[in-house]
Amino acid sequence: MSLLVKICGLSTRETLETALEAGADMVGFVFFPPSPRHLSLEAGRDLGRQVKRRALTVALTVDADDATLDNIMDALSPDIFQLHGKESVARLRDIKQKFGRPVMKAVPVATASDLAVLPGYAAVADRILFDARAPKDATRPGGLGEPFDWHLLENLDLKLPYMVSGGLDAGNVAEALRVTGAGGVDVSSGVESAPGVKAPELIKAFIRAARASQELSVR
Ligand SMILES: O=C(O)c1ccccc1NCC(=O)[C@H](O)[C@H](O)COP(=O)(O)O
């Protein structure tokens, strides 16, 4: 199974093009106003047109209501919804049924007890994204540039495809993959020069490093 590389929080045509040309498998667009990566619907529409099926488009929302998801469907028609809030299992089922798109559920991780939610989500979600649990005073539940203890996933028994995220960069992505055995990686802060400002060279370096570690793991 080929490694999936997701670059999240893209917000300009130039950096989106860099990610696509560098071979990102997924490009993530954030629809969460407190985020420095938040996109308007019109910007999402514009960037979505640029992707032209060269990667999967991921719309990232946090406890969004149906009207918000409807608007995102109209503007972007994402390949995947990434649900990064406190969405219940029932809400995941509801969203899948109403919008007919795969859902990737973000699971915040700080301690082993955070994995107790997996059986419920794994019964409905199409993919799991493990991310570092945000501090209580954080203004957003993700995209904070901090890793979690990847060893917590060492003995994971999950039948569903999963990705690892949280504080990844070109320097640690190989180790994250080695420890977690994840089938995908996701990054935002680690490819930025400032919050919300994606750096083309960092995007390229991350994708190169992820691909290089994939080659090592299949030998
Ligand atoms: O990126 C954001 O600003 C964001 C805001 C609200 C919820 C989730 C958010 N990002 C989720 C992602 O998928 C990030 O790529 C993931 O949390 C990793 O972020 P980072 O640690 O900055 O690489």
Domains of the chain, earliest start first: 4-217 (3.20.20.70)
Residue 182 Cβ contacting ligand 1 at under 6 Å: no
Q: Which position has the token pair 């667009």?
A: 29
Whole-number Å distance between alpha carbons of 118 and 72? 27
Whole-number Å distance between alpha carbons of 7 and 26? 6
Residue 62 Cβ contacting ligand 1 at under 6 Å: yes
**Residue 79 appears among annotated catalytic residues:** no
Residue 140 Cβ contacting ligand 1 at under 6 Å: yes
Quick one: pLDDT at residue 219?
45
Quick one: pLDDT at residue 216?
64
Quick one: pLDDT at residue 178?
96
Quick one: pLDDT at residue 116?
98
**Which residues in the chain land under pLDDT 70?**
1, 216-219
Quick one: pLDDT at residue 44?
98
Give the distance (Å) from ligand 1 centre to CA of residue 10: 11
Quick one: pLDDT at residue 218?
52
Determine which one of 8, 25, 169, 186 is catalytic.
Answer: 8
Residues 6+ apart with CB under 8 A from 153: 109, 130, 164, 179, 180, 181, 182
